[in-house]
Amino acid sequence: MWRRSLGSIQFSVEHRCSSDDRGPSLCVSDAANHVLLRFDCLYRNPAYHVDPKGLDEHHSLPPLADNIAWTLAELERNLAHSLSRAGFDLEDPPDWSAAQLTQVLVEAEAAMRNPPAGLQELELDLLAARHGEKWSTYPEDILPAWVAEMDFPLAEPIRLVLQRAADRGDLGYPISLRATGLPEVFAQRMQARFDWGVEPSRTEILSDVVQGMYIACVAYAPERPGAVVQTPIYPPFLGAVKETGRRLIDNALVVGEDRRLHFDLERLRHQVDEHTGMLLLCNPHNPSGRVYRRDELEVMAEIVLERDLFVVSDEIHGDLVYDGARHIPFASISPEVAARTVTLTSATKAFNIPGLRCAVAHFGSAELQKRFNEAVPRHARGGIGLLGIHATLAAWQHSQPWLDEVLAQLDANRSLLGELLAKELPELGYFRPEATYLAWLDCRALDLEPTPATRFLRGGKVALSDGRHFGAAYGNFARINFATSGAILTQVVERMKSALASR
Ligand SMILES: Cc1ncc(COP(=O)(O)O)c(C=O)c1O
């Protein structure tokens, strides 16, 4: 239970869940723990009580409103008055400042909106009933650890947005994308998390990140078709380059002494010729979970400026970085770099809502944005669903406590996976990721034919992503997804091991 003292009073939040209602209760109590005010921000019957121990005055909260926001605004405006109605004699002036009250209410809001995420309580039969790609591609006897979806329950603020929309039949057309407030919320989040100042008006809302990559491949420097990609790479990078008629330049990553993948910047200088117009960057990197350091990105930026390249920077994993590394948006390196960079991101990866199809493209110059919009007009790009927009707002504005909990669990899983692999499959090379819940596995020493992923699938009934899809040279690699409970992850590795016995 969350608790905070403010002078002579105390705030606490409790999450309630019964068969017919659920939601948080915020209590304000005196030093002797008598509850003076209680706000039950329940889904069906929201109400507040003044001095439930004595008078028990009971009032309804406004129905259909965001009753958490209503409660906090009421407390900010009227706390002294409400306390006096509850018979509490407040000192004049009170023994706290307005700024202290605001701070407690900010923390109370985070606690009210985010009950414990329940990340270990995963049930295989409920997961198997999901309709997403991860759980519905293979037959039921296969344990999936491939496509980048997490097994965890939704963040409560997102779940509520979806539930309310369904309950109210609130699925009309979205209002104009600019009026959704999403560009501003995106700008606030980038500033707060990455110290990156972005211009809301240079933001476009797309249905997904990969769509943005394809459009950028069509829009920029078509007269210089060479496009640099760094393999191994999330497969749609390869598809975007090839399917839009560009020429793929593979500046393959190299394994450093730190057993991490690094740019091969010297080679890049030689590979880029006058017919090369673009660089597609994936940072943090899928499949390895590498988070490029500032000095690496700065050298990359030098080459980009020297060779007049446009950059598409896919930063969808930027919110999933573990302690010890820091996500640096490529466009934040310098204004000159920003002016040639399109940054693509979304809430879908970190908050696990890829089925809702909503992403953001940020353009470092008006010219970049214009060319993008002219390349494929908005109607040809398809409309954006109302649910995706509102779930993204709920994610970025209210769901950070959920993400913090998820990151702690993923961090534990990243270690557990390392331990399990060292014990059960010691010949396999594990690239411990600095970000994301995906890990790149070097299976060369195991010599698994035709590919490791095929062998794990056939012999162990566990689905990993096949390394070949990340570049032709990676047939002996596989990518694993560890965003699940410790118990399921343990089963995944056990099944991988059992595949070896099936040789
Ligand atoms: C690097 C990267 N970019 C893009 C995507 C997909 O994003 P979207 O569903 O918005 O196209 C993924 C999904 O795993 C990814 O890992």
pLDDT in tens, 268-281: 999 999 999 999 99
Cα(316) to centroid(ligand 1), Å = 6
Distance, in Å, from the CA atom of 300 to the CA atom of 262, rounded to the nearest integer, reads 11
Q: How wide is the angle at C-alpha 312 spanned by C-alphas 310 and 318, nearest 5°?
A: 145
Ligand 1 atom nearest to CA at 285:
1
Cα(55) to centroid(ligand 1), Å = 55
Distance, in Å, from the CA atom of 341 to the CA atom of 211, rounded to the nearest integer, reads 16
Distance, in Å, from the CA atom of 40 to the CA atom of 46, rounded to the nearest integer, reads 6
Cα(7) to centroid(ligand 1), Å = 48
- Kindly state the tokens that stand for 6: 């403010």
Cα(188) to centroid(ligand 1), Å = 22
Q: Average pLDDT, stretch 291-311?
A: 97
Cα(209) to centroid(ligand 1), Å = 6
Cα(210) to centroid(ligand 1), Å = 6
The set of protein residues with a Cβ atom below 6 angstroms from ligand 1 is: 148, 208-210, 234, 282, 286, 314, 316, 346, 348-349, 354, 359
Q: Average pLDDT, stretch 139-150?
A: 97
152 to 235, 282, 350, 414: CA distances (angstroms): 24, 25, 11, 16
Give me the sign of the Cα torsion angle 329, 330, 334, 336: negative
pLDDT > 70? residue 224: yes
pLDDT > 80? residue 63: no
Q: In terms of residues, how long is the chain?
A: 503
The DSSP secondary structure of 195-222, one letter per residue, reads: -----GGGEEEES-HHHHHHHHHHHS-T
C-beta contacts of 337-341 below 8 A and 24+ residues apart: 337/301, 337/304, 337/305, 337/311, 337/364, 338/364, 338/365, 339/364, 339/365, 339/368, 340/304, 340/305, 340/308, 340/309, 340/310, 340/311, 340/364, 340/365, 340/368, 341/310, 341/311, 341/312, 341/313, 341/368
For atom 16 of ligand 1, the residue with the nearest CA is 286
Ligand 1 atom nearest to CA at 147:
14
Q: How confident is the model at residue 20 (pLDDT cuts 50, 70, 90)?
A: confident
Which of 168, 152, 159 shows the shortest CA–CA distance to 391? Answer: 159
pLDDT > 90? residue 217: yes
**HSE value, Cβ hemisphere, 13 Å, CA-based, for 364:** 20
Q: How wide is the angle at C-alpha 246 spanned by C-alphas 245 and 250, nearest 5°?
A: 135
Cα(317) to centroid(ligand 1), Å = 8
- Mean pLDDT across the chain, nearest whole number? 95
Among 209, 290, 321, which is best to mutate for testing ligand 1, by the most ligand atoms less than 8 A from CB? Answer: 209
- Kindly state the tokens that stand for 303: 């080459």
pLDDT at 95: 86
| C-beta separation of 298 from 336 below 8 A | no
pLDDT at 52: 65
Q: Taking each helix axis from N to C terminus, what angle separates 98-113 and 386-398, rounded to the nearest 10 degrees?
A: 130
Q: Report, in angstroms and rounded to the nearest whole number, the Rg of the chain calculated over CA atoms.
A: 25
Ligand 1 atom nearest to CA at 354:
9
Among 208, 286, 349, 358, which is best to mutate for testing ligand 1, by the most ligand atoms less than 8 A from CB? Answer: 349
For atom 13 of ligand 1, the residue with the nearest CA is 148
Rounded to two decimals, the pTM is 0.95
